[in-house]
Amino acid sequence: MNPNIPQTDRKRVVIVGAGFGGLKLARKLSHRKEFQVVLINKQNYHEFQPLYYQVATAGLEANSILFPLRAVFGGCKNVHIRVTTVTGIRTADKTVDTELGPVTYDYLVMATGADTNFFNQQNIIEKGLSMKSVSEAIALRNRMLQNFEDALSVETQDEREGLMDVVVVGGGPTGVELCGTLAEMRRTVLPVDYPELDFKMMDIFLIESGGELLGPMSVQSQEHSLNYLQELGVIVKLNTRVKDFDGRIVTMNDGSTLRTNNLIWAAGVKANPLAGLPPDVLGRGGRVLVNRYSQVQGFTDIFAIGDVALMTEEKWPNGHPQVAQPAIQQGRHLAKNLLHWVRNEQPEAFTYNDLGTMATIGRGLAVVDLPYLKFQGFFAWLTWLFVHLMSIVGVKNRLFIFLNWMVNYLTYSNSLRLIIKPKLPKGDVKAMQEKLSDQVEVRT
């Protein structure tokens, strides 16, 4: 196969990854006559990662947080999208190797993001659940809903509790938001859907190895988030580390155990650098060391932005937080600098503008840390809704999400609690099930 990208006299910028950073960069360069943009991504859509947990808990349909890449760049003849996997880079040849074939570059930008970090705990990798892609979020939704269906038919209390109880590992925004939503569902939605089950016996645990929730946020927000979760009935265990999970029993470092079939891992991320980079450019968590111009250490034509990049500033000695804003700002800034370089102008050093951090904890509850203001409660929740709604790509997606949120808030009901599984072809069904468990096809 051949990527079939035309040769032009423009500088070719190859961007690997269509997350927040890669998409922002591609959009900024899409109408510049100086560049030919090649955007390589594993899927043909952009994913809005902060709302994965709402897909997993049946609050939103998957296509509400996805946006087709070709719809973003419709009419941009200098943007070439290729849906494929990058297998490595050859820096000496200025070439990216993909499953479609090699692609040469003048400038290469890694915007490959991060994946779940299981810290090499093989049992948890095999038996736990994660939520770092929309396909994993759909798989989690299917699993949780199927558990409640199965709980109606099991014979023992132990089996029923194992199906209904949930252990979430990681007290960051993902873990906190997921636990809050599950607790709200346990109180309002699930007893209506499953009147034969006693949801007073459904326990939701949040396990955090540190001494507080939402580590990067203010003490005020940490304390309020803990109080909100406890008021919702979530059992929070701080200073506790999960040591093992065999599919039925979660074992902690202090020797205590919890009975559940459902361990959801939201405890950490690791970067996804491209194969072929020198080992000495990789820093903590697999992040690629870059300077203040996003250039990879030792290179002038290879860049990294977003979660995969480790850029230090005086205020951020350990790198920027692995969230959307640094990626968006670095993508926008790199677009300006690429123009400076092709015009033989002096580039500008990047400085991160921290716009704040926020997390929602159930219906009408959130915590918000802005640079000069911190607040919690219902107004914080409205702020969270507005910020996330405005960040969604596409007017139609924003409208769908707004309507979903409004209906859910007014009625506690939606039609998304559906168990949708791919149809298995005839043949080796077991092998196909194993393959499909790692990848759920999403049609947009």
Q: What is the Cα–Cα distance from 93 to 322, expressed in whole angstroms?
A: 31
Q: What is the Cα–Cα distance from 8 to 36, expressed in whole angstroms?
A: 8
The catalytic residue among 61, 177, 184, 208 is: 177
Which stretches within 290-357 are classed as H helix?
324-342
Q: What is the Cα–Cα distance from 158 to 144, expressed in whole angstroms?
A: 17
Write out the H or E segment, with its range, that includes residue 389.
helix 378-391
Is residue 293 within 8 A of residue 272, CB to CB? The reply is no
**Strand ranges in 101-255 using DSSP code E only, listed in sequence order:** 101-104, 107-110, 114-116, 166-169, 204-207, 235-237, 242-245, 249-252
Q: What is the Cα–Cα distance from 199 to 192, expressed in whole angstroms?
A: 10
Burial 222-232 (b: 16+ CB within 10 A, else e): bebbbebbeeb
Q: Crossing angle for the helix pair 219-231 and 173-188, nearest 10 degrees?
A: 20
Q: What is the Cα–Cα distance from 430 to 444, expressed in whole angstroms?
A: 27
| Residue 177 annotated to the active site | yes
**Strand ranges in 117-191 using DSSP code E only, listed in sequence order:** 166-169
Is residue 178 within 8 A of residue 279, CB to CB? The reply is no
Q: What is the Cα–Cα distance from 75 to 141, expressed in whole angstroms?
A: 36
Q: What is the Cα–Cα distance from 404 to 60, expressed in whole angstroms?
A: 7
User: What type of residue is 397?
Assistant: N
DSSP 24-81: HHHHHHTT-TTEEEEEEESSSEEE-GGGHHHHHTTSS-GGGGEEEHHHHTTT-TTEEE
Which backbone phi and psi does 38 adopt, to 5 degrees?
-115, 115
In this structure, what DSSP letter does residue 222 have? H
Q: Checking phi first, is residue 276 left (phi over 0); if not, alpha (psi -120 to 50) or beta?
A: left
Q: What is the Cα–Cα distance from 241 to 243, expressed in whole angstroms?
A: 6
Please list the active-site residues. Answer: 177
